[in-house]
Amino acid sequence: MQGGGGEFDTTTKAIESVPSGNAKRNTAPRPDGKMVGAQAVALRVFSDRSAFYNCKIIGFQDTLCDDRGNHFFKDYHIRGTVDFIFGSGTSLYLNSKIFVEGDPEMAVITVQARESSSEDTGYSFVHGRITRTAKDVFLGRAWKSSPRVVYSYTEMDEIVHPGGWSSNRQPERAE
């Protein structure tokens, strides 16, 4: 089994190279709201057709940069505080476990960066579970003008902010 990269002479060898059970933990200190640039990415995905199975991605702010390309995450665990899944990728998250750490300012799961309704990007969370130590968690916020995030068949503790979505103080992004 390879480490998930390289050139392959068969499809089987390429599939066998997909790492399973990886844990990516960001060991940067928890952001305190005072330090500028406190984000610390644990994993950045910017290739097309990337797949992650049975992985753990742990951090605080900006944990997973789902940057660009088509991605598939299955049976994974992600933990963070604010904006911890962000970027402009087109991704399916299947059977995800999302754990939201308490944050005194604001807890936000996703910040999807679609800039136009004509772009074919967005995040889809299916058959997942969201738990927390935080309260009043936003499922997402509007980083760019036309973000798209869908939660289907996802169990949520009683943690979601009544508004569900933050317009990022920009009323035109409230829809």
Going from the N-terminus, what domains does the chain have, and what CATH number goes with each? 19-25+39-166 (2.160.20.10)
Active-site annotation holds for 62: no
Q: Output the tens digit of pLDDT for each of the chain's 175 residues.
A: 444 455 555 545 555 555 666 655 556 666 665 656 656 788 888 888 888 889 888 888 888 999 989 999 999 999 998 888 999 999 999 999 999 987 666 789 999 999 999 999 999 999 999 998 877 899 998 888 888 999 999 999 888 888 888 877 666 655 5
Number of residues that make up the chain: 175
* Active-site annotation holder among 62, 66, 83, 103: 83
C-alpha–C-alpha distance, residues 33 and 18, integer Å: 37
The answer to whether residues 24 and 45 touch, using CB atoms and an 8 Å cutoff, is no
Helices (H) and strands (E) in the chain, counts: 1, 17
Closest CA to 85 of 98, 104, 95, 70: 98
The answer to whether residues 69 and 50 touch, using CB atoms and an 8 Å cutoff, is yes
